[in-house]
Amino acid sequence: MIKALALEILQISEQAAIASFPFIGSGDKNGADDAATTVMRAGLNALPIDAKVVIGEGELDEAPMLQINEQLGQGGLSVDIAVDPIEGTVLTVNNQSNALTTLALAPRGTLLHAPDMYMEKLAVGPNGKEAVDINLSIETNLQNLSSALNKPLTALNVAIQNRPRHEALINRIRMCGAKVQLFDEGDVTYALATAMEQTGIDLFIGTGGAPEGVVAAVGLKCLGGKMQGKLKPVSDEQVNRCFLMGVTDLDKTLEHSDLVSSDDCIFVGTGITDSILMKGVKLAKDTVYQTESLLLSSQDQHSRLIKASYLKSAVTSLSLTS
């Protein structure tokens, strides 16, 4: 069972976040990516798994990364891995909020091999998943969500990335009377936030990275929420890449079960900088690293916020012990 790996995966995520800490505010994007990736690769290679990376970050910009189709582990349980050693590398090196590490595991063959391109995405928490659909207008979705959550339209809060491509959508949301929460980066964070009531976010919508959509889909599966997507290739090369990864119907609505088809999966994210979900890495008295992580299992369908401490003297770039 995937859940049996939860603590080991959690520790790897914590160590990757700690490895990223020296790069907060540094401006060194590749250095940060390389530090986190090195720790994740070493940690995953030490586990009793037969793992295949199906979602890796950095493919298009040639950043350091865990390569798509890379094989990891010592052999054993056969799993797919969706990983972003730093979700929000620019946020990290600019010392901005919402940067985190992410790792998601599911049985082999159950995660969509999403190409590194745009995806139209919709995410919502458990109480709204029967009310909204990516194929409905935003006006209809907001009306339906208002009824499902028993909240007036003026109390709904919609998270959407602050990009020119979303300007018309933002205006339509506001015309309905709902509130808009703009963010610069952090698709995974804001998608997961819809299933965590303390964040105050009711709906996530917009066009962003397809790989992040799959990572978020695993987390939302664990939380009982809903994720839908539609791939948006912008070139013949991207269309061909869809075909190579087995996505042949480019107009297809990718339902949650298309993004992650198993009910046996785990997600872990560790804060690098502070976010609406968790605090970032702190160095207390120059001797102890303190981390906060979100650990999610589909077997439980609830979240665990886990705090950990690591002695600085015991942490190296490749160590996975505190």
Enumerate the known binding-site residues for Mn(2+): 33, 57, 84, 87, 212
Instruction: Look at residues 186, 220, 225, 234 and name the one whose alpha carbon lies nearest to residue 206.
Output: 186
Which residues belong to the annotated binding site? 33, 57, 84, 87, 212
Mapped onto helix, strand or coil, the DSSP state of residue 7 is helix
Cα end-to-end distance, the chain, whole Å: 26
Neighbours of 109 (CB within 10 A): 13
Mapped onto helix, strand or coil, the DSSP state of residue 96 is coil
Beta strands in the chain (DSSP E): 49-55, 71-72, 77-87, 100-107, 118-124, 157-161, 179-183, 203-209, 226-232, 266-271, 282-284, 288-297, 303-311
Let me know: does 290 contact 8? Beta carbons within 8 Å.
no
The pairing of strands 303-311 and 288-297 is: antiparallel
Instruction: Look at residues 213, 217, 228 and name the one whose alpha carbon lies nearest to residue 298.
Output: 217
Q: Is 204 exposed, middle or buried (0-12, 13-18, 19+ CB in 10 A)?
A: buried
What is the rounded CA–CA span in Å between residue 97 and residue 285?
Answer: 22
Tokens of 241: 């890449």
Q: Which residue reads 């890796």 in tokens?
A: 56
What is the rounded CA–CA span in Å between residue 190 and residue 210?
Answer: 15
Let me know: does 134 contact 230? Beta carbons within 8 Å.
yes
Task: Please enumerate in sequence order all residues whose Cβ is within 8 A of that of 131, keeping only pairs 6 or more positions apart, or say none.
Answer: 124, 141, 144, 145, 147, 148, 149
Sign of the C-alpha dihedral, residues 124, 125, 127, 129? positive
Tokens of 28: 């060194």
